[in-house]
Structure 1
Amino acid sequence: MKEVELRVAVLRRDVLDTQAEELAQALDTVCGAAEQADPVAREILGAVMPTLTDVTLVERFDALRAIASAEALLPLGRLLRRPRSSPEVRERSSTDERLLATSRSGRVLTLGERRALARRPSRAALDALMRDPHPLVIRNLLGNPRVTEDDVIRMAARRPVATEVSVEIARHPRWSQRSRVRMALVQNPGSPPEIAVPLVRLLIRPELLQVAAAPDVPRQVRAAAAELLERRPPLAGKGKTASLPQ
């Protein structure tokens, strides 16, 4: 397991095993430092992000949300704030078979066939599955060693994007740690706000400025970017150079 994936696994274990009050205090400290552009805190927070979309941890984060509210842990509360999905994100249409891979005879492949195909090292097979909306196919595709970062960015940026596809990318321990992938998810109007808004907290200043000014990005995502810009420390003055991106 690569270092970044190991980090995500360790953070997930900590989320599961640490006492809720202790975890809330620790995450609040990390969130506050990340808001101030601390690079170590932002890296830690990035490793926590995949757990936010883990359905097995919903109750855990509900408990942390309650603690943040009761104890006025404001940075943690901002991370766990529940944004409302826009109608276009909430509504799900039936699967468009034109997006599904087909056999040589033109028959639409079954889900099992597409899942198996997503594990193969064939470039042609991978290209045929890039538009597949099923999360199990996307999960296998993201784990295929032949898939590149550019492939994942195309999937994350595709419009319209299936909610399930955004979720699978955001929870993947490897691809969720790539800044270009995060940016593609944040900028896609079809990404659920419950994914896009927390990811905003990992963006650096130029990315925040871009998101805050993008007219096609949902209002609440733009608002989150603008809010975070206000909380970031000022840039180094004229004649000084900031050592790290903010």
Structure 2
Amino acid sequence: MTNRRPISLDNPDANPEELIASSFVEDLVVAAKHPALMEDLALAILRRRDLPAVALEEIARNHSVIKRRKVLVGVVEHQRTPRHISLPLLRRLFTFELMQLALTPSVLPDIKLAVEESLVGKSATLALGERITLARRGSTKVAGALLVDGQTTVSEAALQNPRITEASIVKALGRPEIPLTFLIMLANHSKWSLRREIQIGILRRREATDSLVLKIAAKLPKPAIKEVITQARLPAGRKELLQTALIRG
């Protein structure tokens, strides 16, 4: 016979297994804060898409389970977790837990943004191997931020990331400081060296050497070079160099 009342009302000593099987929200809340709640049961609760915010708050306060990594991540990524709970919990996540969260489709956009900003902010303090992994496997925003990392191996990994886009590379080319090695990588890349916006972005960089500028200009049609000369903001002497390229062409 189906219960018409919450189990916890009739049996205050009910165990978590009984409570999470209930269809009543009240029972889920009692289970979430139960001192005997184990990791597997907490994860079972977190799989409930109808889970009320109050139950998620109770799991976050339940010290016996929130210390478990899977439970911690599960609370943060749940779509019904209140922001005042999920955002502070982000600080307790490891780098690669954050990376995976940023790639999880069900994570809410504002949480994903906070995760990505956290990763970008801490990237300078990470070990080289961690930055390479983030660059290669991270989200578009994270990989885009690592394009101009001071280490060539990190930039190379970011360019290999299948999520990297032309827009993210063009954005990176607009940074105040860019390593020359990154520009050289782009100029030699089989795919990105052929994209017009990226070519123009390289031409506008003061870090680009004369030989690099001439190499890029050789790939551009004359009308495009003329447009760059007349419309783009260029470093000192760059217009003259491009005019030389026009004459050579």
TM range (shorter): 0.3 to 0.5
Which structure has more relative contact order (CA 8 Å, sep 6+)? It is: 1
TM-score after normalising by structure 2: 0.45
TM-score after normalising by structure 1: 0.46
